[in-house]
Amino acid sequence: MELFTTWRTWDQARAALAASGAAPADLATLDRAVAAARRWHGDQTRPTGAPYLEHLLEAVEVLARGRGVTDVSVLAAALLHDVVEDTGATARDVEAEFGPWVGELVEWVTKPPSDGLGRQAKRAAKAAYLRRLRDAPREAIMVKLADRISNVQTLDRMPPDFQRRYYAETCTYIIPLADLPDGGDPWFAEWYATWRARFAHLR
């Protein structure tokens, strides 16, 4: 199972993207997206304590190095995919800085707020959001699939109860997105099949 954990800083990621042929204008757009992500996420960290930017760079690495995505809008959306959900930024803020298409992609992968809801209602709201992704544009689905690869590629580092819940959720809602009749993607489907076998003990 291929891991996407080599781009730990933007300098590393930028150098790799430049070496693969990314246009200077596209790199400049991604420079702005990284700066915006840093500004909005501030000092947020991942559950492991790692800087939040590492997760965003992993999603970009999945798309660019793994899937071979060169569309700068998709890569920018990957860098910004959590800002509306996890910071004070709004979809309008993203659109104002990066245009309506990037704003739409980020909005598609943003989980609706669930503050004030009970546990059951939160789970129902999340399930509804995940089901709705089946209707998302193909580019938004790729961002979500890359986001989840970042989260699950080292699932064995998380607490056992979380591992089982997240494995089940990924198999139920996320993996089918790679196999949609009109929006499926063979590369993602193959990666997730390997991942599913690697963590089959969690079934």
As a whole number of angstroms, the distance between CA 8 and CA 135 comes to 32
Give me the helices (H) in 71-118, please.
72-80, 83-86, 91-98, 100-108
Q: Tens digit of pLDDT for each residue in 32-83?
A: 999 999 999 999 998 888 899 999 999 999 999 999 999 999 999 999 999 9
How many independent structural domains does the chain possess?
1
Structure tokens at 132: 């709705």
Q: Tell me if 70 is assigned to some domain.
A: yes
Q: Tell me if 1 is assigned to some domain.
A: no
Q: Average pLDDT in the 181-187 region?
A: 83
- Tokens 């997760």 found at: 55
Domain CATH code at residue 79: 1.10.3210.10
Q: Please list the active-site residues.
A: 85-86
Q: Tell me if 3 is assigned to some domain.
A: no
Q: Tell me if 81 is assigned to some domain.
A: yes
Q: Tens digit of pLDDT for each residue in 78-101?
A: 999 999 999 999 999 999 999 999
Q: Tell me if 4 is assigned to some domain.
A: no
Q: Tell me if 114 is assigned to some domain.
A: yes
Q: Tens digit of pLDDT for each residue in 18-35?
A: 999 999 999 999 999 999
Q: Tell me if 98 is assigned to some domain.
A: yes
Burial of 147 (0-12, 13-18, 19+ CB in 10 A): buried
- CA–CA–CA angle 88, 53, 180 (5° rounding): 85
Domain that holds residue 63: 10-202
Length of the chain: 203
Q: Quick check: 135 pLDDT over 80?
A: yes
Q: Quick check: 151 pLDDT over 90?
A: yes
